[in-house]
Amino acid sequence: MKITIFLEDDEGNKYEGVVKFKKSKKNTGDAIPITVQKKSSNIKNPRSIMDFLIVLKKQGFFKTPRTRKDILERLSSMNQHYDGTSLDSPLNRAFKSKKLGRISKKGLYMYVSR
What gap in Å lies between CA 57 and CA 67, rounded to an integer?
14
Measured CA angle at 100 (ends 38, 80), to 5 deg:
65
Question: Residues, the chain, total?
Answer: 114
What pLDDT, in 10s, does the model give residues 47-92? Answer: 889 989 999 999 999 999 999 999 999 999 988 888 878 899 999 9
What gap in Å lies between CA 107 and CA 53, rounded to an integer?
22
Determine the pLDDT at residue 67. 93
Select the more confidently predicted residue: 1 or 112: 112
What gap in Å lies between CA 40 and CA 74, rounded to an integer?
22
